Amino acid sequence: MSFVCTSIYRVSPLSVLQAFSECAAETSRRRVFTNGRSISTARAPTRKATIQGRVATRSRSSCQEYDARYPRSNPIRFIHQSVRMKHRAFVALGSNLGDRVAMIEQACNEMDRTGKIGVLRTSSLWETKAMYVLDQDKFVNGVCEVETSLSPIELLDELQGIENKMGRVKVIDKGPRNIDLDIVLYDNETFLNDRLQIPHKLMLEREFVLRPLCELVPNHSLPPHVDLPAGSFQYQLSHFPKSHDPLSPLTPLAPGLANIASRDPKRKTHVMSILNVTPDSFSDGGKHFNISSPQLADTIRSHIASGATILDLGGQSTRPGAPQVSSTEELERVLPAIEAIKSIPEADGVAISVDTYRADVAEAAIKAGAHIVNDVSAGLLDENMLPTVARLGATVCLMHMRGTPETMNSLTSYPDGVIPGVAGELLERLKAAEEAGIRRWRIILDPGIGFAKNQEQNLELLRGLDKLRRWPGLEGFPWLIGASRKAFVGRITGVTEARERVWGTAAAVTAAVQGGADVVRVHDVKEMAQVARMADAIWRN
Catalytic site positions:
486, 521
* Alpha carbon of residue 134 to chain centroid: 29
Contact call for residues 252 and 442 (beta carbons, < 8 A): yes
Q: Cα(458)–Cα(478) distance, rounded to whole angstroms?
A: 19
DSSP-assigned letters across all residues of 218-237: TT-B--TTSSS--SBHHHHH
Q: Which residues make Cβ contacts (< 8 Å) with residue 4, sequence separation at least 6?
A: none
Specify the DSSP class assigned to residue 43.
Answer: S
DSSP-assigned letters across all residues of 150-200: S-HHHHHHHHHHHHHHTT----STT---S-EEEEEEETT--EESSS-EES-
Burial class (CB in 10 A: 0-12, 13-18, 19+), 47: exposed
Provide the pairing of β-strand 260-261 with 480-481. unpaired
Q: Up-side HSE of residue 354: CA atoms within 13 Å toward CB?
A: 30
Number of Cβ atoms within 10 Å of the Cβ of 211: 23
Provide the pairing of β-strand 117-122 with 139-148. antiparallel
Query: What are the two backbone dihedrals, phi and then psi, of residue 362, each rounded to the nearest 5 degrees?
Result: -60, -45
CA nearest to 471, candidates 385, 400, 412, 372: 400
Please give the C-alpha separations between residue 478 and each of 283, 436, 487, in angstroms, as whole numbers: 26, 20, 25
**Length of the chain as a residue count:** 541
Q: Up-side HSE of residue 1: CA atoms within 13 Å toward CB?
A: 12
Please give the C-alpha separations between residue 108 and each of 117, 181, 307, in angstroms, as whole numbers: 10, 10, 35
DSSP-assigned letters across all residues of 489-532: HHHHHT--SGGG-HHHHHHHHHHHHHHT-SEEEES-HHHHHHHH
Query: What are the two backbone dihedrals, phi and then psi, of residue 368, each rounded to the nearest 5 degrees?
Result: -80, -10
CA nearest to 252, candidates 242, 261, 239, 263: 261
Contact call for residues 341 and 361 (beta carbons, < 8 A): no
Taking the alpha carbons of 238, 429, 536, 453 in that order, is the dihedral positive or negative?
Answer: negative
DSSP-assigned letters across all residues of 221-288: B--TTSSS--SBHHHHHHTSPPPSS---EEE--STTSPPEETT-TTPPPEEEEEEE--S--TTTTTTT
Element (H, E) at 212: helix 207-216
467, amino acid identity: K
